[in-house]
Amino acid sequence: MEATPFDVTLECLKALAHESRLRLLGLLAAGERSVLELARLLDLSEPTISHHLGILRAVDLVGMTPEGTVHRYRLNRPALERLNQALLSPEHLAALTDAAGGDAWEQKILRTFLDGERLTAIPAQRKKRQVILRWLAGQFEPGLTYPEAAVNAVIKRHHDDTATLRRELIASQLMRREDGVYQLITGDAAR
């Protein structure tokens, strides 16, 4: 599943939440430096500097240019400016509040059990399975009726075990079946 803006922001903030990495960024703001130069300036070992630079590169805050056998590191100013603008925009802050609210756990479950639109496994734990079933129920249009073959076709796009998931949708009272016709349960009737 693709990383959300919340995930990207959280990873950048985690990368920045370390004194040595902040000091590295401060030095790189003044100009390009090698690992050896940074190690000497910060009185840290070269492997420690490389480790911190790797974390900063993973979130695109630092870039690297090879010069022969030496790698020169630089601050990625455009990425830092984008992060700064994103953090300070009211829209982004509001989106972070939404993502950090009650559905953050559900989003984590979806990321764990979905690979794109494919369900990698049916969760054994009931609470997690309910999150997946609600997501799957969202693949159906409210108010429409579906013959069993159509329900199977929708489920098949996401997982091969159509019988189990069809039964689970009914048992969870997310769908109802009458005379071989299925319909999404919506509103007050839905749990």
Model confidence pLDDT, tens digit, residues 36-51: 999 999 999 999 999 9
Which residues contact residue 182 at a Cβ distance below 8 angstroms, ignoring those fewer than 6 apart? 145, 146, 147, 148, 150, 151, 166, 170, 175, 176
Q: What is the pLDDT of residue 2?
A: 58
Report field, pTM of the whole predicted structure over 0.85: no
Fold agreement between 5-79 and 106-189: yes
Which residues contact residue 122 at a Cβ distance below 8 angstroms, ignoring those fewer than 6 apart? 129, 132, 159, 161, 164, 165, 168
> CATH classification of 106-189 is 3.30.60, yes or no?
no
Q: How confident is the model over 86-106, as pLDDT tens digits?
A: 776 666 666 555 554 557 788
Q: If you ran DSSP here, which 8-state letter would residue 188 be given?
A: G
Euclidean distance between CA atoms 54 and 75, whole angstroms: 13
Q: What is the pLDDT of residue 191?
A: 44
Question: Tell me, which fold does domain 5-79 have in CATH?
Answer: Arc Repressor Mutant, subunit A (1.10.10)
Which residues contact residue 168 at a Cβ distance below 8 angstroms, ignoring those fewer than 6 apart? 122, 129, 133
Which residues contact residue 170 at a Cβ distance below 8 angstroms, ignoring those fewer than 6 apart? 176, 177, 182
List the one residue out of 190, 187, 189, 183 whose CA is nearest residue 141: 183
The answer to whether 129 touches 123, Cβ cutoff 8 Å, is yes
What Rg do the C-alpha atoms of the chain give, in angstroms? 24
Where are the chain's structural domains? 5-79, 106-189
pLDDT digit string (tens) for the chain, length 191 residues: 556 666 777 788 889 899 999 999 999 999 999 999 999 999 999 999 999 999 999 999 999 999 999 999 999 999 888 888 777 666 666 655 555 455 778 888 898 999 888 999 999 999 999 999 999 999 999 889 999 999 999 999 999 999 999 999 999 999 999 998 999 998 644 44
Euclidean distance between CA atoms 19 and 43, whole angstroms: 13
| Dihedral sign, Cα of residue 105, residue 111, residue 113, residue 116 | positive
